[in-house]
Structures are given as C-alpha cells and as structure tokens.
Structure 1
C-alpha cells in the first residue's frame, strides 16, 4: 500500500558550507527541503569572485584529512578529486626573522603509529633547540591525556596552558601558533584551551594521517557554488538565492513559520546556519536559555593578500613562515 502522506518539511537558513551540508543531509534522509540564502551565490565565506579575466578566491582555504564533515561534503558533490589531500603531512617552514638570514625547515610525518609519526620530523626541525623539542614532546603527552569535553579547559587560554607545561615564547611561535592560527584562526593567547585540545588531539594525536593537508585545485566557487548547487538540485532541494529570512515563529501545531520578503514557509524542522548575530535576531523568545551569549562571540577576520606576477615565482605549492606577519603563502599558478 502506498503512503500518500506528505514528507516532513525542513528549511535551512544560510547557504554556506554548513547550510548546504545540512540541506543535503536532510534531503538524503527523505525530508522536503528549502534552502534560503541571502546572497546571489552559495558558499558563504569560502567563495570566488572575478577581477577581469581572473577568478580569485576570497582567501586560501585548506582542510585536514581529519575534517570528516568537509570530506563528506566533497564526496557528496562529487568533487573530492578537485581538492586532494597530501599523501603525508609535509609543511615547509621558513624562518624569515633570523639575523643570519632566512632558514628553511620542514614539519612532516612518517608512517609510524601515533605519536612516533611526528618524532622524526620534530627531531629534524631546525627552528627549535634540543631543549625546546624535548619540551614539545612532554607537552604533547600532557595534551593527549586531556579530555576536550572538560568544562574547566574553557576557563583558560591555550598560551597559559602551554607556559604551564614549559613552552617558551619561541616554541609557541615556531610550532604551536603555526598550527593554531591555521586551524583555530587565533594565536595561543586568544584561543580557548578546550578548542585547542580538540584540534591538536584530533589533528596530531588521533591517527598518523589526520593532519595531512588538502586544498582546492579549482576556484572555490566551482566547488561551493556550482557543484554544490548541482548536488542540491539533484537531491530535490529547493534553493532560493537572494532570499533572506526575516523572522522565525512557532505555529499553534508546533511547526515553524519562516518569513522572507516574498513568502511564508511552514516547516517541521528549521536549521539556522548563519552567523551568531543573525541567529540571535531570528531565534524566537525561549528558544535558548541565554540567547545573549551568542552576541559575546566575536568575529576574527582573516586578511589575505593576492599578488599577481608575470611568471612562476615559487618552487613549491606552499610554505609557512615564522618571524613574519605573513603566516602562509600559496602558489595559485594552476588554480
């Protein structure tokens, strides 16, 4: 016997990576999904734009092998081959602040089990002294014993914890911040210890390949807008661009009304995949016990500089820098 009852309906507000992923997950689960995005494109803050004949990403975005959510997204939109991952973690690190001149080192792993997979790379890393390297090993072991879910970790910043475990300012700059800025978008004094513990335990201490780096070989717009939109269409998601949600209210029968400038959409489920201030403004009274806490979450902008040369100028696809306000440099010659 056929079931002619209507499918549950869902509205996803926000067409960034989280919103598109949520919409695809809900559609795959059998819901009737509408995706609302206020911009004329998908992709959120990981997008491309045109400057004449040049397609430019708004910044270099990378991911790690342990980023299982993003890897699922790439697989779901049939784009994993367009954003490959390194065979093994290998990061050239250039110290540009040395009085004797710049010096190049590398952070890389072997195929040994955790934590030995990083021991050889750390031993050969030229930007730290022997004592500092030994201190890193002790701090890493202490990090591995932490429970990232411990609420006490959120009461201390990462730099304070590192200093308690014998890490010098040089070690923090040349190693911990090198990874932390790229993954947490914050230097150690501004990073929650709880988040740092999660990132470093997952990326460096969970399995040998967890921190291998991947990045797109095509413009981000091709992944996060063009191919994402194709996957949404194929999944039956109704995608509305230039459609900003204005309000969210509860109906008498326990469903939700989402108001846009042009229509009212009623749904059983609503996902808010928008920044914290927009979420705060959309949430109805009583949805959270302390909604004002959303406004305490500050933004942390990333500054990117795009330099166009008339020839290829790098011998490697990317490198990291210490002793410099520029932390990562990528060659986009073939992108």
Structure 2
C-alpha cells in the first residue's frame, strides 16, 4: 500500500529574488556578449550567485579577480557591487573597453561619500569588512577618510578626530533593524553627524526583509535561497530567525536541501530568495517539495516593485 503524502503549505514571500540592479548587471554581460562576441571578461562575480555565474560562463563570459587577467583587446565588465576608483583608472590607462555594471543605488552611496569628503567630513561606513561593495565604497576616497563600523559595539567605540565634521553611509544590503540600532548610537555619540537624505539600504533589501517578517512567525521552518557570500541573502536568514522562525537556513539550490532537517512535523514552510537568486531556483525547490508532500502554495505579497534601471549607453540601440 502506497503511503499518502503528508500535506505541506508553502508560504512564498513576495517580493523575492532578482532586484533591478541584478537584472541590469546580468543584461549588461549578455548584451556585451551579443555586441562584442565572446569572451567578455567580468571582474569578480557579476552578482553573488553561482547559478547566474555558470549560466553566463556557458554563454562566453570569463570571470576574473583582477584586471591583469584581462587581455588588452577584450571588453571587461565591473560587477554590480561596485569597484574602487583605482579599477576604472587602471582600465583607462590600458585603454580597455570597460562597462560598469555597478548598481545605481550603490553608485548613489559612492557619490554621497565623495560629496561629504569634498565638504571636509570623515565618513563612517556601516557595512561588513571584505564585502566587495564595502571595498568599492571605501575605495572612492583616499585612505583614512572612511571608517568602517560593522556592529553596535564598534559604533560605541569608533574614534573620530573631528566630531563636528562627520557623516555616515551604509552598505545597501544590511539588516534594516540592525542598521537602525547602529545609526542611533552614532547620532547619540555624534549629534552633528550628517546622514543620507534617503536611507542607503536599497528598496529591494528592505522589501525582501519586510516580506520575510510577514511570514516568519507563521512558519515551522523557512528557507532562503541564495549564496553564502550574498550579504542580502544572509541578512534574510537573520531576519527570519529574529522574527519568529528559529528554524531558518540558507540554501543554494534544491539539491542541497536537508530533508531530515525539515523533519516530519513541518506543516508550513516559508520560502524566499535573495536579490541575486533567480526564480528558477525557487521553482526547483517547490518541485522537489511536491515529490515528497501534497503541496499548497500561499503567496504572501507585502509590496509591488516596478523599478527598472537604464543600461549603459554603449549597449543601447
């Protein structure tokens, strides 16, 4: 006798997955391949997702860590996370054809940092050390003009030479809640500090975290599809855990699912995806669930997204 499948309700967070900056970056690589032929070189992962990188590699993209790996006669694309000023300067020195896929919302933070420096302010950057976006933002200004603060403890201890000429900016993919706490400490310690007119954390990060908050307390377990080096994906796991679903974890794709971890008692599974994770990975996980359970899908919408970013002029027309 065939045992009946247990029922599983999937609470599907929306919005999830690709944001406008990620879609733009991928389109830049694809259009560059169509216009210039293969190979097109890409400095660093265009976005933090192996599935995306492998798909572009199959089309003729070659991913490298530094410009010295790029031949003089081929185009190179800079990743969505942004790069220090030294990178386009070196590309220009070598007369390389380069295309900048930096997310416009990251470029906005770069411009803010530059404006503060021009006004004589030291910039405190709230972010994670070693993340490409942080490296790129800190690389917009000379050494020493940007101080990195990663958490509330560092916000309490950071030393500045001139508290009256100070500003802060943030990495775009941080936890909204954690950043509020850090900013509150900086404002208490340095009342004259300048902040952005509009918060630096991007709309997609904010929306995906809000969607996770909306479902977390209703879930027995929750899965975030994304890469371990994806800041926004890792923050979604943290947000889910802090919002009522202790059994939350990151998953790169369905084949990595630990079904024993899910267990026999899970009746409501939350699923979302980081901003650099393609929707087909969500569909793949749902299909795997259907093999094991009688699945009911409940999509929970918390906001609509209609943001589109323009492509570089060189690739239009």
Global fold match (TM > 0.5): no
Larger radius of gyration: 1
What is the TM-score of this pair, normalised by structure 2? 0.30
Name whichever structure is richer in helix by fraction: 2
What is the TM-score of this pair, normalised by structure 1? 0.29
